[in-house]
């Protein structure tokens, strides 16, 4: 499995049931999320497929500290010495490798099934050290500028990331794009999760990537607005 181009400079790395993203820029490679455990070969394969080497991976930014986003991180860091970034509220979970905070399934039958199937709070991951905590509104001087948007609800320390040069939003698990835009499998706090979906619907971007489901290469913010945008005041 190689890398699939989403927009110029961004490749989606299919890591089984979860996605990671590789951003290529003058300052090297940046990886967003690190999949389930034992999926590091997908990342190294993708790096090779775009003609780069593992030592060019400089940054590993996590949308949140769930098993399907941090699972292969330790193995990736060992081989690349990439600097790691995460919101403070998820750092202790990631650095201990679990247990994880419980989630309630998303509303609807599918949420009930998927949450039980894909999320076990007692699961243990290989611990990963986080080098740099992220804060809401911060603009990381990486790959020409990556904006950090705190989007709790699915997970307290969840952030979405907006890569400014390519106008691409990395939504993590704020939502999925499995059969169109929809909820993640579960929420720690549903109200906060809805507020985060509305927050992303209020932003302007072209492309979007998701932890689960296919990326949207263009007109993505229109779809977010149609799904979660506020009604315009009368």
Q: In sequence order, which residues have a C-beta less than 8 Å from that of residue 99 and are 6 or more positions away?
A: 93, 121, 122, 123, 124
* SS3 (DSSP) at 42: helix
Which residue, 24 or 188, is less far from Zn ion as judged by CB? Answer: 188
DSSP code, position 231: P
Q: Which stretch binds Zn ion (CB under 5 A): 6-14, 64-72, 174-182, 214-222?
A: 64-72
94 contacts 128 by C-beta, under 8 angstroms: yes
Residue 185 and residue 112: Cα distance in Å, rounded?
Answer: 8
Is residue 66 a contact point for Zn ion (CB under 5 A)? yes
Which residue, 25 or 89, is less far from Zn ion as judged by CB? Answer: 89
Least Å distance, CB 87 to Zn ion, is: 13
Which residue, 40 or 68, is less far from Zn ion as judged by CB? Answer: 68
Is residue 33 a contact point for Zn ion (CB under 5 A)? no
Residue 200 and residue 214: Cα distance in Å, rounded?
Answer: 18
Among 67, 71, 211, 215, binds Zn ion (CB under 5 A): 211
Q: Which stretch binds Zn ion (CB under 5 A): 46-54, 84-92, 199-207, 208-216?
A: 208-216
Least Å distance, CB 18 to Zn ion, is: 6
Among 68, 90, 183, 188, binds Zn ion (CB under 5 A): 68
Q: In sequence order, which residues have a C-beta less than 8 Å from that of residue 46 and are 6 or more positions away?
A: 1, 2, 3, 11, 13, 22
Instruction: Find residue 163's DSSP bridge partners.
Output: 146, 168
Is residue 87 a contact point for Zn ion (CB under 5 A)? no
Chain positions contacting Zn ion, by CB under 5 A: 66, 68, 173, 211
């Amino acid at each position: 499995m190689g890398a699939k181009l989403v927009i110029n400079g961004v490749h989606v790395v299919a890591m089984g049931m979860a996605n990671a993203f590789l951003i290529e820029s003058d300052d090297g490679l940046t990886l967003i999320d690190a999949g389930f455990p034992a999926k590091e070969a997908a990342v190294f394969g993708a790096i090779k497929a775009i003609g780069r080497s593992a030592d060019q991976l400089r940054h590993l930014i996590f949308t949140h500290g769930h098993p399907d986003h941090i699972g292969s991180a330790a193995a990736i860091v060992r081989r690349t010495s990439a600097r790691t970034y995460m919101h403070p509220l998820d750092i202790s979970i990631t650095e201990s490798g679990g247990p994880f905070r419980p989630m309630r399934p998303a509303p609807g039958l599918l949420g009930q099934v998927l949450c039980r199937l894909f999320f076990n709070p007692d699961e243990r991951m290989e611990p990963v050290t986080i080098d740099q905590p992220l804060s809401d509104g911060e603009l990381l001087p990486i790959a020409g500028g990556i904006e950090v948007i705190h989007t709790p609800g699915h997970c307290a320390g969840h952030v979405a990331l907006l890569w400014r040069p390519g106008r691409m939003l990395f939504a993590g698990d704020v939502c999925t794009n499995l059969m169109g835009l929809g909820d993640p499998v579960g929420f720690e706090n549903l109200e906060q999760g809805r507020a985060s979906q509305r927050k992303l619907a209020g932003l302007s971007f072209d492309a979007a990537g998701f932890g689960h489901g296919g990326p949207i290469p263009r007109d993505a913010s229109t779809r977010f607005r149609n799904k979660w945008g506020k009604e315009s005041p009368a």
